[in-house]
Amino acid sequence: MCEANVYIDEHDGKGEVLYLENVDVIRPEDGKLFIKNLFGEQKFFDGQIKEISLIKHKIVLTRK
Amino acid sequence: MCEANVYIDEHDGKGEVLYLENVDVIRPEDGKLFIKNLFGEQKFFDGQIKEISLIKHKIVLTRK
Protein backbone atom coordinates (compact mmCIF):
# COMPACT_ATOMS: atom_id res chain seq x y z
CA MET A 1 0.00 0.00 0.00
CA CYS A 2 1.07 3.57 -0.56
CA GLU A 3 0.03 5.31 2.57
CA ALA A 4 2.54 7.23 4.71
CA ASN A 5 3.25 7.78 8.37
CA VAL A 6 2.92 11.34 9.64
CA TYR A 7 5.42 12.73 12.14
CA ILE A 8 5.61 16.02 14.00
CA ASP A 9 8.99 17.74 14.11
CA GLU A 10 8.82 19.04 17.68
CA HIS A 11 11.87 21.32 17.60
CA ASP A 12 12.49 20.65 21.31
CA GLY A 13 15.09 17.90 21.15
CA LYS A 14 12.51 15.15 20.85
CA GLY A 15 12.98 15.14 17.10
CA GLU A 16 10.24 13.63 14.95
CA VAL A 17 7.37 12.14 16.91
CA LEU A 18 4.89 9.77 15.26
CA TYR A 19 1.47 11.44 14.94
CA LEU A 20 -0.64 9.14 12.74
CA GLU A 21 0.14 5.95 10.81
CA ASN A 22 -1.19 4.74 7.45
CA VAL A 23 -2.27 8.19 6.32
CA ASP A 24 -4.12 8.45 3.02
CA VAL A 25 -5.39 12.05 2.84
CA ILE A 26 -4.04 15.43 3.98
CA ARG A 27 -5.60 18.76 3.05
CA PRO A 28 -5.70 22.28 4.49
CA GLU A 29 -9.12 22.94 6.01
CA ASP A 30 -10.21 25.87 8.18
CA GLY A 31 -6.62 26.95 8.75
CA LYS A 32 -5.54 23.52 9.96
CA LEU A 33 -4.43 20.29 8.31
CA PHE A 34 -7.12 17.65 8.01
CA ILE A 35 -5.49 14.20 8.13
CA LYS A 36 -7.24 10.87 7.52
CA ASN A 37 -5.79 7.39 7.56
CA LEU A 38 -6.77 4.11 5.89
CA PHE A 39 -8.89 3.11 8.86
CA GLY A 40 -10.99 6.26 8.82
CA GLU A 41 -9.22 7.82 11.79
CA GLN A 42 -9.27 11.61 11.38
CA LYS A 43 -7.28 14.39 13.01
CA PHE A 44 -6.90 18.14 12.64
CA PHE A 45 -3.38 19.42 13.15
CA ASP A 46 -2.56 23.08 13.76
CA GLY A 47 0.53 23.33 11.64
CA GLN A 48 2.00 22.85 8.22
CA ILE A 49 3.83 20.38 6.03
CA LYS A 50 7.60 20.44 6.37
CA GLU A 51 8.47 17.60 4.00
CA ILE A 52 6.84 14.77 2.07
CA SER A 53 9.02 11.78 1.15
CA LEU A 54 6.78 9.25 -0.54
CA ILE A 55 9.42 6.60 -1.16
CA LYS A 56 10.17 6.68 2.56
CA HIS A 57 6.41 6.65 3.31
CA LYS A 58 7.02 9.65 5.51
CA ILE A 59 5.40 13.06 5.93
CA VAL A 60 6.79 15.52 8.49
CA LEU A 61 4.72 18.38 9.91
CA THR A 62 5.69 21.35 12.05
CA ARG A 63 3.53 23.17 14.57
CA LYS A 64 2.44 26.75 13.86
CA MET B 1 6.19 2.15 -6.16
CA CYS B 2 4.63 4.75 -3.96
CA GLU B 3 5.28 7.95 -5.78
CA ALA B 4 2.43 10.28 -6.80
CA ASN B 5 1.52 12.47 -9.73
CA VAL B 6 1.27 16.19 -9.05
CA TYR B 7 -1.50 18.25 -10.63
CA ILE B 8 -2.23 21.99 -10.62
CA ASP B 9 -5.83 23.03 -10.00
CA GLU B 10 -5.97 25.92 -12.45
CA HIS B 11 -9.32 27.40 -11.36
CA ASP B 12 -9.98 28.55 -14.91
CA GLY B 13 -12.14 25.76 -16.26
CA LYS B 14 -9.16 23.63 -17.26
CA GLY B 15 -9.50 21.70 -14.05
CA GLU B 16 -6.50 19.74 -12.81
CA VAL B 17 -3.51 19.84 -15.14
CA LEU B 18 -0.65 17.35 -14.78
CA TYR B 19 2.50 19.11 -13.55
CA LEU B 20 5.00 16.35 -12.70
CA GLU B 21 4.77 12.55 -12.63
CA ASN B 22 6.37 10.04 -10.27
CA VAL B 23 7.00 12.60 -7.54
CA ASP B 24 8.91 11.47 -4.47
CA VAL B 25 9.65 14.64 -2.48
CA ILE B 26 7.79 17.90 -1.84
CA ARG B 27 8.87 20.52 0.67
CA PRO B 28 8.42 24.26 1.16
CA GLU B 29 11.64 26.08 0.29
CA ASP B 30 12.21 29.83 -0.09
CA GLY B 31 8.48 30.53 -0.20
CA LYS B 32 7.86 28.02 -2.98
CA LEU B 33 7.30 24.28 -3.18
CA PHE B 34 10.36 22.25 -4.12
CA ILE B 35 9.24 19.13 -5.99
CA LYS B 36 11.47 16.23 -7.05
CA ASN B 37 10.55 13.05 -8.87
CA LEU B 38 12.05 9.57 -9.00
CA PHE B 39 14.17 10.47 -12.00
CA GLY B 40 15.80 13.45 -10.31
CA GLU B 41 13.72 16.01 -12.18
CA GLN B 42 13.23 19.06 -9.95
CA LYS B 43 10.80 21.95 -10.08
CA PHE B 44 9.89 24.93 -7.92
CA PHE B 45 6.19 25.78 -7.85
CA ASP B 46 4.85 29.11 -6.60
CA GLY B 47 1.82 27.81 -4.77
CA GLN B 48 0.58 25.50 -2.09
CA ILE B 49 -0.79 22.03 -1.49
CA LYS B 50 -4.54 21.69 -1.89
CA GLU B 51 -4.89 17.96 -1.28
CA ILE B 52 -2.80 14.82 -0.93
CA SER B 53 -4.49 11.48 -1.71
CA LEU B 54 -1.84 8.82 -1.42
CA ILE B 55 -4.04 5.85 -2.28
CA LYS B 56 -4.94 7.65 -5.52
CA HIS B 57 -1.23 8.54 -6.03
CA LYS B 58 -2.37 12.11 -6.47
CA ILE B 59 -1.28 15.49 -5.09
CA VAL B 60 -3.11 18.64 -6.14
CA LEU B 61 -1.52 22.10 -5.86
CA THR B 62 -2.99 25.57 -6.29
CA ARG B 63 -1.23 28.71 -7.51
CA LYS B 64 -0.64 31.56 -5.06
In tens, the pLDDT along B17-38 reads 999 999 999 999 999 999 999 9
Cβ separation of A51 and B24 shorter than 8 Å?
A: no
Which chain B positions have a beta carbon within 8 Å of A49's beta carbon?
26-28, 49
A54: nearest CA partner in chain B: B24
What ipTM is given for this predicted complex? 0.92
Average pLDDT over residues A41-52: 97
* 3-class DSSP string for B3-35: CEEEEEECCCCCCEEEEEEEEEEEEEECCEEEE
Q: Which residues make beta-bridge pairs with B25?
A: A53, B36
Residues of B with CB under 8 A from a CB of A: 1-4, 23-28, 38, 48-55, 57, 59
- Cβ of A34: how many Cβ atoms within 10 Å? 15
What single-letter amino acid sits at A58? Answer: K
Question: With contact defined as beta carbons under 8 Å apart, do B53 and B41 qualify?
Answer: no
